[in-house]
Amino acid sequence: MKQPRQQDIFSVPSNQPTNKFISIYRVSLVKDETVSFGQSPINNSQEAQSLIQQLIRTRGQPDREQFIIALLNAKNEMIGLNIVSMGGLTATTVIPREVLKPAILANTAAIILSHNHPSNDLQPSAHDIAITKKIIWAAEIIGIQVHEHIIINMENDHYFSFADQGIIKDIYVEIG
């Protein structure tokens, strides 16, 4: 079913009763637990890779693809980690709204994107690049900086850094 366009929503007469109740919501961020990690701030992609790999090993499932964000404050100090999605052997669903939700709730200044490839092939797919562009575009609108996107190998300390390869900078130039 096709979603109505915004201008069509209010032009359709409503046959629903006017005596309706609506929910009132309170949004909050819940800290599940804490993990110990080395120094802060994060100074390079290798430090970020090590921390995120540790999170996948201890709290995730290394045999499945997982998309994780690291939350940073204005001094690039790590303030949190979130496993955004967990998929199967070759993919996980990544929706920019779900990626940015914990960043907004934590009042984050910047984020580091990351995911593992269970195949240990570190080359980014066309989808990896496309979703990185979408997330950067969405984050830019709401004032959150994307510093990095790292693809992690779970068998050793090898990784692919979008920032080190100039991809992050190129995306920011492209979106203007």
Most confident of 35-44, 45-54, 126-135: 126-135
pLDDT tens digits along 123-140? 999 999 999 999 999 999
As for how many domains the chain has, the answer is 1
Alpha-carbon gap, residue 109 to 11, rounded angstroms:
40
Which structure tokens are listed for 142? 């709401």
Q: What share of the chain in percent tops pLDDT 90?
A: 57
Residue 79 lies in a domain: yes
Does residue 26 lie in a domain region? no
Specify if 91 maps to a domain. Answer: yes
In this structure, is residue 14 part of a structural domain?
no
User: Which spans in the chain are helix H?
Assistant: 6-9, 45-59, 96-105, 126-142, 167-175
Residue pair 103/111 in contact (Cβ under 8 Å)? The answer is yes
Q: How many residues does the chain have?
A: 176
pLDDT value at residue 66: 94
Question: What pLDDT does residue 28 have?
Answer: 77
Report pLDDT for 38.
62
Q: Average pLDDT, stretch 51-77?
A: 90
Residue 106, domain member (yes or no): yes
Domain coverage including residue 153? 49-175
68 band by pLDDT with thresholds 50, 70 and 90: very high
Q: Is residue 22 part of a domain?
A: no
When pLDDT is averaged across residues 83-110 and rounded to a whole number, the result is: 94
Give the end-to-end CA distance of the chain in Å, rounded to a whole number.
35
CATH number where 161 lies: 3.40.140.10
Integer CA distances (angstroms), 65 to 46, 115, 129, 141, 154, in order: 20, 7, 16, 28, 10
Q: Which of the pair, 83 or 7, is modelled with greater confidence?
A: 83
Q: Is residue 98 part of a domain?
A: yes
